[in-house]
Chains A and B, each alone.
Chain A
Amino acid sequence: DGGITQSPKYLFRKEGQNVTLSCEQNLNHDAMYWYRQDPGQGLRLIYYSQIVNDFQKGDIAEGYSVSREKKESFPLTVTSAQKNPTAFYLCASSISRDRGQRSYEQYFGPGTRLTVT
């Protein structure tokens, strides 16, 4: 089955530790995204990548880092510099070049809930 996987579903870390969240997709999508969601809030964009070896900062990139070494993978590292890292993290992907489709909707993974104490 095609889709996006994120692991783990729940993650616990001590303050001051870096932590890396996994995101893998087998949809053959070029673009991938990381969002953060806080309780009762909408999604906010952290980073996005349009193509392998390229990525751009979103609205709240401070304290986060990413890499895009493979088309299928877009891991997010939450560094110790992120002041409020506890949140629900969502990864998404989409096509990014016109392949004769009408829409470019994003497909989301199940999310990782990170708790830092």
Chain B
Amino acid sequence: DAKTTQPPSMDCAEGRAANLPCNHSTISGNEYVYWYRQIHSQGPQYIIHGLKNNETNEMASLIITEDRKSSTLILPHATLRDTAVYYCIVRVAPRYGQNFVFGPGTRLSVLP
């Protein structure tokens, strides 16, 4: 699975869009980009994933560059409850029982 690079921390003002970047320059053609988040002392929560097209759901949008070497997770109107560690994971479509590899992620602080 491709390695990812994320900034260790970011701040965002409440009500503004939070844009979390992820670099995955060694991504291969069959690898997906997944985003999870972990609020303090809780289990990680799935947010969104994509292959090459931009994706949007009720939680967030995922923008993947045309060359697929980087992506951005967008929380359109960040709230205090969005303060969490956000993990970008690149991997092939999970085969039978394979795990996700969670790196250190980005600690997002939403400020009032």
Q: Do A and B truly interact?
A: yes
Show the binding face of A for B, using Cβ within 8 Å: 4, 30-31, 33, 35, 40-43, 45, 48-51, 56, 58, 88, 90-92, 94, 96-97, 103-111, 113
Q: CB distance A41 to B41 under 8 Å?
A: no
- Which of B10-18, B42-50, B59-67, B73-81 participates in binding chain A? B42-50
Q: CB distance A90 to B104 under 8 Å?
A: no
> How far apart sit A110 and B100, CA to CA, in the bound complex (Å)?
17
Which residues on the B side are within 8 Å of A113 (C-beta)?
41
Q: CB distance A107 to B96 under 8 Å?
A: no
Residue in B43, B44, B49, B104 with the greatest tally of chain A CB atoms within 10 Å:
B43
Which residues on the B side are within 8 Å of A105 (C-beta)?
34, 46, 49
A48-B97, A96-B97 known; 18 other A-B pairs, CB under 8 Å? A42-B101, A42-B103, A43-B102, A48-B99, A50-B96, A56-B97, A90-B44, A92-B44, A94-B94, A103-B93, A105-B49, A106-B46, A106-B99, A108-B45, A110-B42, A111-B41, A111-B42, A113-B41
Interface size, B (range): 20 to 34
Show the binding face of B for A, using Cβ within 8 Å: 34, 41-46, 49, 87, 93-94, 96-97, 99-105
Which residues on the B side are within 8 Å of A103 (C-beta)?
49, 93
Q: CB distance A58 to B99 under 8 Å?
A: yes
Q: CB distance A42 to B43 under 8 Å?
A: no
User: How far does the Cβ of A98 sit from chain B's closest Cβ, in whole Å?
Assistant: 9
Which residues on the A side are within 8 Å of B43 (C-beta)?
4, 90-92, 108-111
Which residues on the B side are within 8 Å of A51 (C-beta)?
97
Which residues on the B side are within 8 Å of A40 (C-beta)?
104
User: How far does the Cβ of B75 sit from chain A's closest Cβ, in whole Å?
Assistant: 18
Picked from A42, A48, A94, the residue with its CB within 8 Å of the CB of B87 is: A42
Which residues on the A side are within 8 Å of B46 (C-beta)?
105-107
Which residues on the A side are within 8 Å of B101 (C-beta)?
42, 45
> How far apart sit A105 and B100, CA to CA, in the bound complex (Å)?
9
User: How far does the Cβ of B21 sit from chain A's closest Cβ, in whole Å?
Assistant: 17
> How far apart sit A111 and B43, CA to CA, in the bound complex (Å)?
6
Q: CB distance B96 to A96 under 8 Å?
A: yes
Picked from B34, B99, B105, the residue with its CB within 8 Å of the CB of A33 is: B99
